[in-house]
Structure 1
């Protein structure tokens, strides 16, 4: 019915250890230095994750190289599987392709830079320089435009002449054919008349 002193001491010791662990965990949870350390670790992991998304991982590079080699050998299994996948698989596949692509990240950054630069008004020097470029392009481009117009006119004239010749040839052929049909028809009529009278 009653517990022995040994059992009671054992229970007390277990409770003391459990409470010590709980107090240590609580102290670690509310300690300012532990909070700062957790925040630093979370920031590091976010930066690491972002870096891996942009630059890729060593595992991603090796699997990409393996995939490329398999693709070069003519394996179409991956393509068939990706066609059979759901829309979510397609989105995640696109994310995997973009993930770890520094060139794509650079192009996106370049595009963002172009957009930002388009929003900033041009300075007076830039406007003058752009005017000089446009004037130079007009000056050097006008002979090319004139030459292209001349060549286009020559082509049109050549096509028109060829079309007129072809139309005349068709007309002549049609006239010859009509004459042949008429003469053959007349000879056929004459032959039928001669056969009916005889």
Structure 2
């Protein structure tokens, strides 16, 4: 930065410095904002769950093909994004601001986490722990309340199945007896006609 006595040059330098400071303050705010810290942690957790699900359930060739197709579509979308952004933001400062926000968010997610983020995430985790325990307890209570009803339904199904088997068995025996009687009658009728 050069020093100059020209007021116009000094004003330009001051405006450039203000713009740089504004950008730095905005970036710092984005990095330490508790809501953003939580959003980043939630996103990382979701990604970890998705990765774990993929490891547990594995992937087959059709999944690999689908992922490949999605990756290709994403690459095309990224290649076309600058043109689409330019045409979509002409005369629309809100859209331009949203796109800038998204780019900033993407860049911040690529940067390593700061100590402040780690502290805030730990605080959020500590605050969420009682809620998690409460949710677990509610789920266990619900399961215990539903267990007798499920056992009763199972016994009812077993009883119905046993009754149905017995009815089929009795009908089969009755039908077999009827067939034997008819066969005996037919035999006697044939013998009588001789």
TM-score category of the 2 structures, normalised to the smaller one = 0.3 to 0.5
Higher Rg: 1
Greater relative contact order: 1 or 2 (C-alpha under 8 angstroms, separation 6 or more)?
A: 2
TM-score computed with the length of structure 2 as normaliser: 0.43
